[in-house]
Amino acid sequence: MIIFLKLGGSLITDKFKPNTALPATISRIAKEISSALNEGKNIKLVLGHGSGSFGHAAANEYGIGEVIDKETQWAGFQKVWSSARDLNNIVISILIKSGLPVISFPPSSAITAKNKKIVHWNTKPIERSIERKLIPLIFGDVIFDESRGGIILSTEALFRGLAEIIQPDLILLAGIEEGVWDDYRKKGKLLRTISPSSYQTIVPKITSSKASDVTGGMESKVKIMMELLEKHPDIQVRIFSGDRPGNVQKALQGEDVGTLLTSL
**2-261, what's its fold?**
Carbamate kinase (3.40.1160)
What average pLDDT does the segment 215-241 reach? 90
Closest by Cα among 168, 170, 172 to 236? 170
pLDDT at 158: 97
pLDDT digits (tens, 9 = 90+) for 119-178: 999 999 999 999 999 999 999 999 999 998 898 999 999 999 999 999 999 999 999 999
DSSP tag of 107: G
> Domain boundaries in the chain?
2-261
Tell me how crowded residue 98 is: count the other CB atoms within 10 A of its CB.
Answer: 17
pLDDT digits (tens, 9 = 90+) for 65-107: 667 777 778 888 999 999 999 999 999 999 999 999 999 999 9
Closest by Cα among 263, 154, 144 to 208? 154
| pTM, two decimal places | 0.92
- Give SS3 for 126: helix
Closest by Cα among 10, 145, 160, 155 to 66? 145
pLDDT at 41: 81
What average pLDDT does the segment 15-32 reach? 96
Q: What is the mean pLDDT of the chain?
A: 91
What are the residue ranges of helices labelled H in 7-68?
9-12, 23-39, 52-62
In DSSP terms, 44 is beta-bridged to 2
